[in-house]
Chain A
Amino acid sequence: MELCLFLGCNTPAIRPDVERAIRASMPVLGIDLVDADNYVCCPAFGAFPSTDTDSWLATSGWNLSIAEQKGCDIVVQCGSCYSSLRMGREHIMHHPDKKDRVNELLEPTGRRVEGTSKVRHVSEVLYKEIGPETIAGQIKKSLKGMNGVVQYPCHTLFPSEVVGFEDSARAPKGMRQLVEALGANVNSYSRELQCCGGAGGFMKSTPEQAIEFAKSKFDAILAETQTDFIAVSCITCLMHMENVQNTLNKRVGEERYKIPVFDYNQLLALCLGFEAKQVASITNVSRDSVLSRIA
Chain B
Amino acid sequence: MAEKKPTGTVLVAGAGISGIKAAIELAEVGYKVLLTDASTQIGGILAKLDYQFPTDHCGMCRMLPMVGREYSSQYCMRKSLFHENIEIMPFAEIQAVHGDAGNYKVDLLKRARYVDPLLCNELEECIAVCPVEVADEFNHGLTKRKAIYQAIPHNTPKLLAIDKQACTNCGECVKVCTPGAINLGAQDEMVTREVQSIILASGVKLYNTTEFEDAKSYAVSPDVVSSLAFERMMSSSGSYRDGEIKRPSDGQPAKNIAWIQCMGSRNRRQKRDYCSSICCMFALKEAVLAKEKGGPGVESTIFYMDMRTFGKGFQQYRDDAVEKHGVNLIRCRVQGVMRNPDGSLQIRYFDPETNEFVIKDYDLVVLSTGQIPYETHKKWADLLNVKLDSRGLLATEDYSKIRLAGKPGLFICGSLMGLTDVSEAMSSGIAAAGEATKFLTGIGADTVKEEEIAEPTAHERELSLVSVAICKCGEKTGANGIDYELLSAELQRYRGVGEVNVIDSMCKENGETAALDILSKTKCNRLLIGACQPFMYRQNLKNVARKAGFNSSLVEVFDLFGIARKGMTLPSNKEWTLRAAHEVKADIEKLKFKPALHVSTLPINQTALVVGGGIGGMQSALSLAARGVPVHLVEKDGQLGGYLGNNVEATVDGLAPMAMAKDMQLKVYQNKNITVHLNCEAEGTVGTLGSFESKLVYKDSDEKIYLHHGAAIMATGGHEGATSEYGLGSSNLIMTQGQLKKGLASGDIDVGGAENIVMIQCVGSRQKEGRHYCSRICCMWAIANALKIKEKNPDARVFILYRDVMTYGFYEQYYSKARTAGIIFMNYSLDNKPQMEMVEGKPVVKFMDSILNEEIELPADLLVLSTGVDPEESNSKLAKAFKVALNDDGFFAEADSKWRPIEFQQVGLYLAGTAHSPMPLKSVIMQAEAAAQKAYAYLSGREVHTSSVISKVKDALCIRCQRCVNICPYGARSYDDMEKCINVDPAACQACGMCAVECQNNAAEVTGWSDKQLLSVIDAKLMDELLLSPVE
Bound form: Cα–Cα A220–B346 in Å: 13
B509 lies within 8 A of chain A by Cβ: no
Most chain B CB atoms below 10 A, which of A170, A189, A220: A170
- What is the bound-complex CA distance between A32 and B259, given in angstroms? 52
**Alpha-carbon gap, A224 to B217, bound state (A):** 20
Instruction: Give B341's nearest chain A residue, CB to CB.
Output: A224
**Nearest CB of B to A180, in Å:** 21
Proximity bits, B326-365, A CB within 8 Å = 1, else 0: 0000000000101111000010000000000000000000
Q: What residues of B have a CB within 8 angstroms of the CB of A169 in the complex?
A: 213
Which residues of chain A are within 8 angstroms of B338 by Cβ–Cβ distance? Answer: 190-191
Expressed in whole angstroms, the Cα–Cα distance for A223 and B217 within the complex equals 22
> Whose C-beta in chain A lies nearest to the C-beta of B215?
A170
> Which of B214, B216, B217, B339 is close to A190, meaning CB atoms less than 8 Å apart?
B339
Contact across chains for B339 and A171 when beta carbons are under 8 A apart? no
Contact B346 A190 (CB under 8 A): yes
State which residues 221-247 of A face B: CB under 8 Å: 223-224
How long is the Cα–Cα vector from A71 to B338 in the complex, in angstroms? 44
- Among B216, B217, B336, B341: residue with most chain A CB under 10 A: B341
CB of A170 within 8 A of CB of B213, answer: yes
Indicate which residue in A168, A170, A171, A190 contacts B340 across the interface (CB closer than 8 Å): A190
Contact A168 B346 (CB under 8 A): no
- Which residue in chain B gives the minimum CB-CB distance to A191? B338
Nearest Cβ in chain B — how far from A141, in angstroms? 32
CA of A189 to CA of B342, assembled, Å: 11
Contacts of B214 in A (CB 8 A): 170
Count contacts on A: residues with CB < 8 A to the other chain.
10
B341-A190 in contact (CB<8A): yes
In the complex, A224→B339 CA distance in Å? 12
Query: A194: shortest Cβ distance to chain B, in Å?
Result: 8
> Are A170 and B346 interface neighbours, CB within 8 A?
no
Do the beta carbons of A170 and B217 come within 8 Å of each other?
A: yes
Q: Which residues does chain B contribute within 8 Å of A190, judged by CB atoms?
A: 338-341, 346
Contacts of B802-852 to chain A: CB distance below 8 A: none
A-B contacts counted at CB < 8 A amount to: 19
Least CB separation from A167: chain B residue:
B213
Distance A169 CA – B336 CA, assembled complex (angstroms): 13
CB distance from B19 to the nearest CB of A (A): 36
- In the complex, which range does the number of interface residues on chain B fall in? 10 to 19
A223 touches B213 (CB 8 A): no
Contact A189–B217 (Cβ < 8 Å)? no
Asked whether B216 lies within 8 Å of A223 as measured between CB atoms, the reply is: no
Q: Verify A171–B341 contact, CB threshold 8 A.
A: no
Q: Report Cα–Cα, A224/B336, bound state, in Å.
A: 20
The minimal Cβ–Cβ distance linking A193 to chain B, given in whole angstroms, is 8
- How would residues 155 to 187 of chain A score, 1 for a CB under 8 Å from any chain B CB and 0 otherwise? 000000000000011110000000000000000
Interface centre among A190, A191, A224 (most CB of B within 10 A): A190
Taking a contact as CB atoms under 8 Å apart, the answer to whether B216 and A171 are in contact is yes
Chain B residue at smallest Cβ distance from A171: B216
Question: In the assembled complex, which residues on chain A have CB atoms less than 8 Å from the CB atom of B341?
Answer: 189-190, 220, 223-224
Is B339 a contact partner of A170 (Cβ separation < 8 A)?
no
Tell me the bound Cα distance from A190 to B217 in angstroms.
Answer: 12
B348: min CB distance to chain A, Å = 11
| A162 CB to nearest B CB, Å | 13
Report which of A168, A191, A220 forms a contact with B213, defined as CB distance below 8 A.
A168
CB closest chain-B residue, reference A220: B341
Q: How far is the CA of A80 from the CA of B829 in the complex (A)?
A: 42
Residue of A nearest to B216 (CB): A170
What CA separation (Å) do A239 and B338 show in the bound complex?
A: 26
Say how far A224's CB is from chain B's closest CB, in angstroms.
Answer: 5
Closest partner residue, chain A, to B340 (CB atom):
A190
A-side contacts of B217, CB under 8 Å: 170
Question: Which chain B residues border A189 with CB–CB below 8 Å?
Answer: 341
What is the bound-complex CA distance between A168 and B346, given in angstroms?
21
**Min C-beta distance of A140 to chain B, whole Å:** 36
Which residues of chain B from 209 to 230 have a CB within 8 Å of any chain A CB?
213-214, 216-217
CB neighbours of B340 from chain A (8 A):
190
Q: State the CA gap A170–B217 with chains docked (Å).
A: 6
Give bound CA distance, A189 to B214, whole Å: 21
Least Cβ–Cβ distance between B260 and chain A, in angstroms: 14
Please name all residues of chain B whose beta carbon is closer than 8 Å to the beta carbon of A191 when the two chains form the complex. Answer: 338
Which B residue sits closest to A161, measured CB to CB?
A: B269
Closest to A160 in B: B213
A175 and B708 CA atoms in complex are apart in Å by 81
Cα separation A246 to B614 with both chains bound (whole Å) = 77
Residue of A nearest to B217 (CB): A170
Chain B residues within CB distance 8 Å of chain A: 213-214, 216-217, 336, 338-341, 346
Interface pairs A-B: 8 shortest CB-CB: A170-B216, A224-B341, A171-B216, A170-B217, A168-B216, A190-B338, A190-B340, A190-B341
A-B contact pairs, 19 of them (CB 8 A): A168-B213, A168-B216, A169-B213, A170-B213, A170-B214, A170-B216, A170-B217, A170-B336, A171-B216, A189-B341, A190-B338, A190-B339, A190-B340, A190-B341, A190-B346, A191-B338, A220-B341, A223-B341, A224-B341
Taking A168-B213, A170-B213 as known contacts, 14 extra A-B pairs with beta carbons closer than 8 A to each other, sorted by chain A number, are A169-B213, A170-B214, A170-B216, A170-B217, A170-B336, A171-B216, A189-B341, A190-B338, A190-B339, A190-B340, A190-B341, A190-B346, A191-B338, A220-B341
